[in-house]
């Protein structure tokens, strides 16, 4: 049984993962939500104006009243540089899927791995998840590297799974981790 706690603030060595605020729109606009490089492998198009980002944020912020919503802003040096959230939740089977995106200037610095690891620990240890999955576009292998660094195992390929915002379909690679896998991984690190 899951014990929902809602989107709680999580601090890591470099990051603060927290609820979004409407004032974050400017950083979303500046750091990632308007960048075609960031959205290339995502289902949503780059935003064209800050008003649309504010509308998106208003919707997300209103969802924070639900304890089973987990949608974090990734903050570094007092700026929002990305987001990470549960995208699907299966209450009965105690599992969820995680998705994330981060600004291009912050790629290849271990930030996404740090954020994902922290969120996975929270979901396993605080909420009681049994299984966490994540998928990525086959043409975005860097995302798969992040998942592997966090201890997730490759589980298969879904053909033509994603309809990208440019109208093309892409295969999706699926990774997963069980609560027991995470504990074994942590013991090996010690």
Kindly state whether residue 3 falls inside one of the protein's structural domains: no
Q: Output phi, psi for 79, to 5 deg.
A: -125, 145
Kindly state whether residue 46 falls inside one of the protein's structural domains: yes
Q: Which range marks the domain in which residue 123 is found?
A: 10-189
In this prediction, residue 117 carries a pLDDT of 95
Kindly state whether residue 107 falls inside one of the protein's structural domains: yes
Kindly state whether residue 4 falls inside one of the protein's structural domains: no
In this prediction, residue 91 carries a pLDDT of 95
Q: Which of 59, 62, 88, 61 is nearest to 72 (CA)?
A: 61
Q: Output phi, psi for 39, to 5 deg.
A: -90, 0
Q: Which of 108, 129, 105 is nearest to 119 (CA)?
A: 129
Q: Is 84 helix (H, G, I), strand (E, B) or coil?
A: strand
* 132-171 tens-digit pLDDT: 999 999 999 999 999 999 999 999 999 999 888 888 899 9
Which residues does the chain have with pLDDT short of 70? 183-190
CATH number at residue 76: 3.40.630.30
DSSP 12-52: -SS-EEE---GGGHHHHHHHTTT-HHHHTTSSSPPP-SHHH
In this prediction, residue 41 carries a pLDDT of 81
Domain count, the chain: 1
In this prediction, residue 189 carries a pLDDT of 46
In this prediction, residue 24 carries a pLDDT of 97
Kindly state whether residue 43 falls inside one of the protein's structural domains: yes
Q: Output phi, psi for 121, to 5 deg.
A: -60, -45
- CA–CA separation, 155 and 69 (whole Å): 26
**Nearest-10 Cα torsion for 92, 86, 136, 60:** 140
Kindly state whether residue 5 falls inside one of the protein's structural domains: no
Kindly state whether residue 33 falls inside one of the protein's structural domains: yes
Are 130 and 179 a contacting pair, CB within 8 Å?
yes
């Amino acid at each position: 049984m899951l014990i929902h706690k809602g989107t709680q603030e999580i601090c890591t060595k470099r990051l603060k993962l927290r609820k979004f605020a409407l004032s974050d729109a400017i950083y979303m606009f500046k750091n990632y939500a308007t960048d075609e490089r960031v959205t290339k492998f995502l289902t949503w198009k780059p935003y064209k104006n800050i008003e649309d980002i504010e509308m998106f944020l208003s919707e997300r912020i209103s969802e924070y009243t639900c304890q089973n919503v987990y949608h974090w802003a990734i903050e570094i040096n007092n700026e929002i540089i990305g987001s990470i959230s549960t995208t699907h939740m299966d209450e009965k089977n105690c599992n969820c899927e995680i998705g994330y995106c981060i600004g291009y200037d912050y790629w290849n610095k271990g930030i996404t791995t740090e954020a994902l690891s922290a969120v996975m620990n929270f979901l396993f240890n605080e909420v009681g998840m049994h299984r966490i999955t994540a998928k990525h576009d086959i043409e975005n292998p860097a995302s798969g590297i992040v998942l592997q660094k966090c201890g997730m195992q490759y589980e298969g390929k879904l053909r033509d799974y994603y309809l990208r915002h440019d109208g093309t379909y892409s295969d999706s690679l699926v990774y997963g981790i069980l609560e027991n896998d995470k504990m074994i991984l942590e013991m090996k690190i010690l």
